[in-house]
Amino acid sequence: MHRPSSSTHPRARRGSLGRWGLATGILALTAVTLTGCGLQPATSYVPAVGPGSIIPLDGADGVNLTVTSKNFTEQLLLGKIAVLAGTAAGFDVTDLSNVPGSQPARDLLLSGQADVLWDYTGTTWLTYLGQTEAITDQDEMWQAVHDLDLKNGVTWGAPAPMNNTYALAVRSEAVADLGSITAMSELAALPVAERTFCVESEFNSRPDGMNPMLAHYGLERGTANGVPDSNIGIYDTGAIYSATDNGACNFGEVFTTDGRLDALDLTVLTDDLAFFPAYNVAPIFYTETLKAHPGLEKIFAKISPKLTDEVLRSMNRQVDVEGAEPADVAYAWMIDEGFITDPTS
């Protein structure tokens, strides 16, 4: 998959690993080279950090810790959270967030040029590890990825509740008109004329996309009693949210942590028959770094449980809709949760 026009979503996570090509490799190499010269990307700004519930680890003083991330909003936020946590833990942190593309960011971790990266279980399982059988159970998915990635020199930390997977959403003001619908299994009870969908072209044709989703929920595409093709509109990813909000369709294909869900007051339907794969985020570590500083895993295990879908939707919205800086949003959240303090206050 390509990354969408909106910077919030990790579309690259499910795509071809080779499509980024030479240009991305050069950009990633340039970022590493700048870091090696003592420089960091312009996006490396974070405010000053004081200890909160995260305190300096023994042996961290004077030790470099390199944090990387991909280059969409949610990843920038998570990258800044990792930078702030590492700084509060007493490390000299190199901020190598905002790397173009999923694979280049992961390659930095695999090669030991980075120590920490937040990544998604489904991305790793289906894209990096080449598995073809999707796992919908979140705990099972994390364990499978954890176990298989160990051989790559990568250790997965505790997963967050946030699960940035596919979903269907409806404009909230239409919920009552649609029989107070809350779950995808209720789609089959709607009149055919109300089964209208806004989807992107890739989801429309994916082998794990629109057609199997409908079949999983007892609906057949292209039939008069199921979902006629005329009921399905194809949109650019970024346009689906506004099209759904404007009533161009009743149900839009969305991502569960997108800030526009709250900004446009869209209601996410429960995937009650568990069709969509799990895409929980978790901190992953270069294993050799974790062996030298095992306390790192405990620090991030404090943070992960606080990262819910609602929290990420709020933070993504502040950046994508309200124009805030990812570092400032991450900083305010870390202070609110008591992980760090503001040394200037």
- Sorted by where each begins, the domain ranges of the chain are 52-163+279-341, 166-268
Interval 124-134 mean pLDDT: 91
* CATH class of the region 52-163+279-341: alpha beta
pLDDT digits (tens, 9 = 90+) for 196-211: 999 999 899 887 789 9
Please check whether residue 235 is in contact with residue 246, taking contact to mean a CB–CB distance below 8 angstroms. Answer: no
Structure tokens at 327: 């570092």
Question: Residue 141: its pLDDT value, please?
Answer: 97
Q: Residue 179: pLDDT above 50?
A: yes
Q: Which CATH number fits domain 166-268: 3.40.190.120, 1.10.486.10, 3.40.1360.10, 3.20.20.70?
A: 3.40.190.120
Query: Would you put residue 130 in left (φ > 0), alpha (ψ -120 to 50) or beta?
Result: left
The DSSP-derived string for 226-288 is SB-GGGEEEE-HHHHHHHHHTTS-SEEEEETT-THHHHTTEEEPB-TT--SPP-BEEEEEEHH
pLDDT band at 2, cuts 50/70/90? very low
Percentage of the chain with pLDDT > 70? 87
Q: Do domains 52-163+279-341 and 166-268 have the same CATH topology?
A: yes
Contacting residues for 9 by C-beta, under 8 A, at least 6 apart: 3, 72, 74, 164, 237, 255, 258
Question: How does DSSP classify residue 91?
Answer: -
Interval 224-239 mean pLDDT: 94
pLDDT band at 43, cuts 50/70/90? low
Least reliable range by pLDDT among 198-212, 235-249, 302-316: 198-212
Q: Residue 250: pLDDT above 50?
A: yes
- The reported pTM is 0.83
Question: Residue 133: its pLDDT value, please?
Answer: 87
Please give the Cα distance from 235 to 141 (Å, whole number). 30
Structure tokens at 182: 């809350």
pLDDT band at 102, cuts 50/70/90? confident
Q: Residue 232: phi, psi to the nearest 5? A: -115, 120
